[in-house]
Amino acid sequence: MPAALDIAGFSVLLLLVLAVAAPLFRPVRTLQITLVFSLAAVASLAAVVAGVMTVADGSVASAAMTLGLPGLPFHLRLDPLAGFFLVVIGLMGFFVSIYSIGYVKGYGGQRSMTQMICFYTLFLAGMLLVVLADDAYFFLVAWELMAAASYFLVMYEDEKGENRRAAFLYLLIAHVGALAILLAFGVMAGQSGRPVFDGYTFDAMRTAQLTPGWAAAAFFLAFFGFAAKAGVIPLHVWLPEAHPVAPSNISALMSGVMLKTSIYGICRFAFDFIKEFPWWWGGIVLVLGLISAVMGVLYALMQHDLKRLLAYHSVENIGIILIGLGLSMIFAAFHLPTLAALALVAALYHTLNHAVFKGLLFMGAGAVLHATHERNMEEMGGLIHRMPWTAPLFLVGCVSISALPPFNGFVSEWLTFQAFLLSPSLPHPLLKLLIPLGAAMLALTGALAAACFVKVFGVVFLGQWRGHQKRERIHEVGPSMRAGMLLASISCLLLGIFPTWVIGWLDTIPEQLCGGRLAESAGKFGWMWLTPIAHGRASYSGPMVFIGILAVVAVTWLLLHARATSSRRVPIWDCGFARLTPRMQYTASAFSMPIRRVLGFLFAVREQVEVVPHTNHPSLPGSLQYRLRIRDRFWNWLYVPQGDAAYWIARQVGKLQQGRIQIYLLYSFVTLIVLLVFLG
Amino acid sequence: MTHTFAAQLNSLLAALILLSAFALLAQRKIMGLVHIFAWQGLLLSLSTAVIGYASGEHHLYISSLLTLGMKVILLPYILYKLVHKLKIHRDIEAVVNVPTTMLLGIILVVFSYHLTAPIRELSNLMTRSTLAVALATIMLGMLMMVTRRHAVTQILGFLAMENGLFFAATSATYGMPMVVELGVALDLLIAAFIFGIFFFHINTTFESLDVEQMAKLKETD
């Protein structure tokens, strides 16, 4: 049996080889796509195997490579935390690679596939290397590889101005974040007390003795950098721009997996490098998580663009993960290892779950886009009849993200709630009071997310077709796309039904990071029952709920279909109107109207109603036009002033450039004189 | 010729160089400027020879000859040709008028003396008192570049600055190493050729050698 690190290394190497070899197959297009994406799926699977093995036995393996600069070799390390993220990346890489075979072929002959394939494999390899890297230098190289590859993937359809703008915004924020991470590493390395260049390894950072001030500086710089990548509010603006314009398989990877690498980074910094921190660090993480969760879902509710909506849901879910992490940090700061373990497991579990169901949803959105060539939900409807596979698979994703049992989203959010409800055991009165408020906000988030996905599924798949093109031209997607979505749906279900096994498997991570274990108490009553802390407090049985739901559904179905006459198909009841048209349906904006009315002050909403009078009878309205524009307030609050300030400064500096030679000469002359006066 | 005499002679030459620098500021005709520049080169050449004789650094004779060849004969000749070819005999315009320029020049000379005072205290070379003049010549050359509008005057200002630098080198350390001096002389020659080419281009593009015209090249917003 080869070592886990070797398998992971093989996986990365295979991806890099694919990136180099892909152009060779260029003449045979179908072969190129099928071969490369199949092999990418194999490589992803290898990463999953390596990760599962490492997490299961809690082993730590490290290696120094001969690559890198002289005297600064690259270091690799595979510990359970890295292993877990290998699983997240590999699992989604596997599903999405299978899905991509069909999706990418759908682009037809009009553009080069090689670009997509090369950057796709580089992107996967970059993400794997980020979690494998064991020194700041290699980490940043991998981080930038990931960012650059994804930039080119967002730019894939670069003839559209919208795409170029989104990609630039993404690159800009990614680089500001990378700069902050670089500074954080600099602080850690500088304070590690080692000779100049030895501080760059993560080992040196683990043993560094930091003063509280420097530790806070390092952590918050890193947190800022990772938050920019994760899309934590207010650094989220690139997400709803970049995700919709990227090809859907890329959106699935970016949203499902790439954002998670920043969760990995935050875990690494907080629990592995710094270890001892005051509780307010966790408090800040928690508050930002709460804001991201609530604002993310509210913004998502307002969207009509399917992929944009999903992008805002990524903001929400990153918020939920950060809530878990923040709680875990608070518990760890008060030396409550079991509770810290619970919150950390909740966060990591949600990381895995979000990767799977968000990947599934983006793949579903891609399938819809592939079939209808439409992103606007108001132009869809009734797709369940035309896409009998995609619709139920998408529904699985919707139910999962809405945190409803028996799927996986429920388990991790439930665990987060359990962590919240245990906060009264904290020895700090203020926190005891405030944290339950957070629980209430998390509950609100869940409810709003459910409302949002009722809207998505209802408007896109139910009702009647609203689009311009002929409904008959819409076809179900091909087998590989269905396979990718089906596998992700099955994962959603399994992760939801057997949480006890997953937690037992995850147990080595909290043990190494915060010294607490969970599996013993969580699995006390066998795999049927999940009892995170004590069975008297709370328990959940995934299998029982699943069987119950299955039973109810089966009985209902039987009752409906037992006799052939028990159900009849008749025309839709038209409420007495003579003729029903698709335009009479409930629309997406109508669905979110009540929430827009109540919470409208949080958005920059502009509504316009225009009445065009009837041509024959001017007193009668002929037609009504309704325009709705919702903008992100953060854009105007934070980004526009910064951009304006930069332009203003540039314009002022530009005045130096007079265009007259004498003035330029005068500058050097005056400089010379001033220097002579002051230094002479 | 005794050392004191050589030093006095050198001081006289330095004074004349400074005078020629002021003359460059005051002159309004382009041909006049070229002549004054040639005179300044001659004075510089003489001064170098005197220092070479007095200090026993005989390689300074070569420098002196080079200066004579370059700055008294070759460069003025090139400029003379240029002026004739481009037909630019008319008066040159100044951004700042001549009396003000002269006043500014006087301030710069005082400033130079003030700056070099500590060096005069430390040095024991016989040429130490002329360092201030060298620095003043550099600054006056630069002042000329800043205050004149015509491209040819800018070049003359630049060349005057180079004269000042050369003079500073001889008066501060009895000249630069030979290799450096040869290199500088060659650079100067090449610079003159490049200027000549640029003049033609500027003249054909803007139909004038007034550098104010070049403000048109600025991006407007």
For chain B, domain boundaries: 3-209
For residue A429, whether the previous peptide bond is cis, meaning omega lies within 30 degrees of 0, is: no
The DSSP symbol for A527 reads: T
Enumerate the residues of chain B whose CB falls inside 8 A of the CB of residue A680: 115
pLDDT tens digits for range A322-374:
999 999 999 999 888 888 999 999 999 999 999 999 999 999 999 998 888 88
- Distance from the Cα of A465 to chain B's closest Cα (Å) equals 51
Stretch A501-518: mean pLDDT: 85
Number of domains in chain A: 2
Q: What pLDDT was estimated at residue A680?
A: 64
What are the beta bridge partners of residue A625?
A610
Are the C-beta atoms of residues B17 and B43 closer than 8 Å to each other?
yes
The C-alpha atoms of residue A43 and residue A128 are separated, in whole angstroms, by 11
Amino acid A492: pLDDT:
92
- State whether residue A108 sits within 8 Å of chain B by CB: no
Half-sphere exposure of A417 (CA within 13 A, CB side): 18
**A94-113 b/e with 16+ CB inside 10 Å = b?**
bbbbbbbbbbbbbbeeeeeb
What local confidence, expressed as pLDDT, does residue A1 receive? 60
Question: pLDDT at position A184, please?
Answer: 93
Q: Does residue B190 belong to the interface with chain A, where contact is any CB pair within 8 Å?
A: no
For the record, the structure tokens of A651 come out as 């314009």
Q: Tell me, what's the pLDDT at B220? A: 59
Strand partners, A530: A540
| Per-residue pLDDT at A2 exceeds 80 | no
Name which of B146, B216, B221 is nearest A665 (Cβ-Cβ).
B146
Q: What is the pLDDT of residues A227-254, one digit of tens each?
A: 999 989 888 889 988 988 899 999 999 9
The pLDDT, as a whole number, for residue A145 is 94
| pLDDT attached to residue A16 | 92
Strand-pairing partners, residue B210, are B150
- By Cβ distance, the residue of B139, B147, B218 closest to A659 is B218
Does the CB of B213 have a partner CB in chain A at under 8 Å? no
Q: What is the pLDDT of residues A661-672, one digit of tens each?
A: 788 888 988 998
CA nearest B108 in A: which residue? A673
Residue A548 within any structural domain of the chain: no
DSSP secondary-structure letter at A58?
T
Task: Answer yes or no: is A13 within a domain.
Answer: no
Is residue A149 situated within a structural domain? Answer: no
Q: Is the pLDDT of residue A285 over 90?
A: yes
A175 occurs within a structural domain: no
CA-to-CA distance for A258 and A88, rounded, in angstroms?
10
User: Can you say how many angstroms the Cα of residue A533 is from the centroid of all Cα atoms in its chain?
Assistant: 29
Question: CA distances (Å), A2 to each of A6, A9, A250, B169, in order?
Answer: 7, 11, 31, 74
pLDDT tens for each residue of B29-88: 888 889 999 999 999 999 988 888 888 878 888 888 888 988 899 888 988 888 888 777
Per DSSP bridges, beta strands A604-613 and A72-78 are unpaired
pLDDT at B221: 54
Strand (E) or helix (H) holding A271: none
pLDDT tens digits for A412-429? 999 998 888 887 778 888
What's the pLDDT score for residue A196? 65
Q: What is the pLDDT of residues B86-103, one digit of tens each?
A: 777 767 777 788 888 999
Contact call for B215 and A658, based on CB within 8 A: yes
Query: Which of A149, A314, A350, A115 is closest to A230 using CA atoms?
Result: A314
List pLDDT tens digits, range A39-64: 999 999 999 999 999 998 888 888 88
Q: pLDDT tens digit string along A64-76? A: 887 877 778 888 9
Residues of B in contact with A668 (CB under 8 A): 142
* A623-652 per-position pLDDT tens digit: 888 888 888 888 888 888 998 999 999 989
- CA gyration radius for chain B? 18
How confident is the model over A457-474, as a mean pLDDT?
84
Within a domain: residue A5? no
- Find chain B residues with C-beta within 8 A of A675's C-beta: none
Q: Cβ–Cβ of B212/A665 closer than 8 Å?
A: no
Note whether A676 contacts B: Cβ–Cβ < 8 A. Answer: yes
Mean pLDDT of A467-472: 78
Cis peptide bond prior to A406, omega within 30° of 0:
yes
Chain A residues close to B212, C-beta within 8 Å? 660
The partner residue sitting opposite B214, judged by closest CB among A661, A672, A673, is A661
**Over 70: is that where the pLDDT of A514 sits?**
yes
pLDDT at residue B174, as a whole number: 76
Q: A524-535, pLDDT tens digit by residue? A: 777 777 777 777
CB atoms within 10 A of CB B173: 13
CA B216 to chain centre: 29
Q: Is residue A188 part of a domain?
A: no
Q: How far apart are the CA of A648 and the nearest CA of chain B, in angstroms?
A: 13
Q: Do B215 and A662 touch (CB under 8 A)?
A: no
CB A421, CB A270: distance < 8 Å: no
Q: Is A565 on the interface with B (CB under 8 A)?
A: no
| pLDDT band, residue A109 (cuts 50/70/90) | low
Inform me whether the C-beta atom of residue A662 falls under 8 Å from chain B C-beta atoms.
yes
Q: Is the dihedral of CA A391, A396, A399, A402 positive or negative?
A: negative
Per-residue pLDDT band at A209 (split at 50, 70, 90): confident
B 100-129 residues inside an 8 A Cβ radius of A: 111, 115
Does the distance separating the beta carbons of B216 and A672 come in below 8 Å? no
Higher-confidence residue of A572 and A165: namely A165
Find out whether B153 and B93 touch, Cβ atoms under 8 Å: no
Q: Is B214 exposed, middle or buried (0-12, 13-18, 19+ CB in 10 A)?
A: middle
**Measuring CA to CA, how many Å separate A234 from each of A34, A230, A293, A666?**
40, 11, 12, 46
Residues in chain A within 8 Å Cβ distance of B149:
662
Instruction: Identify the domain containing residue A665 by its residue range.
Output: 635-679
Distance CA(A263)–CA(A49), nearest Å, equals 21
| Residue A278 CB coordination number (10 Å) | 13
Q: Is A660 on the interface with B (CB under 8 A)?
A: yes
Question: pTM of the entire structure?
Answer: 0.80
Q: What percent of chain B has pLDDT over 70?
A: 95
In A635-654, the residues whose Cβ lies within 8 Å of chain B are 651, 654
Count Cβ–Cβ pairs < 8 Å, chain A vs chain B: 39
Compute the distance between CA of residue A408 and CA of residue A542 in angstroms, rounded to an integer. 9
On average, the pLDDT of chain A sits at 87
B115/A658 touch (CB, cutoff 8 Å), yes or no: no
- Above 90 in pLDDT, residue A478? no
Chain B interface, mutation test: which of A648, A663, A665, most B Cβ atoms within 10 Å?
A665
Q: Per DSSP, what are the bridge partners of residue A74?
A: none
Residue A86 belongs to some domain of the structure? no
By the 10 Å C-beta count (0-12 exposed, 13-18 middle, 19+ buried), A181 is classed as buried
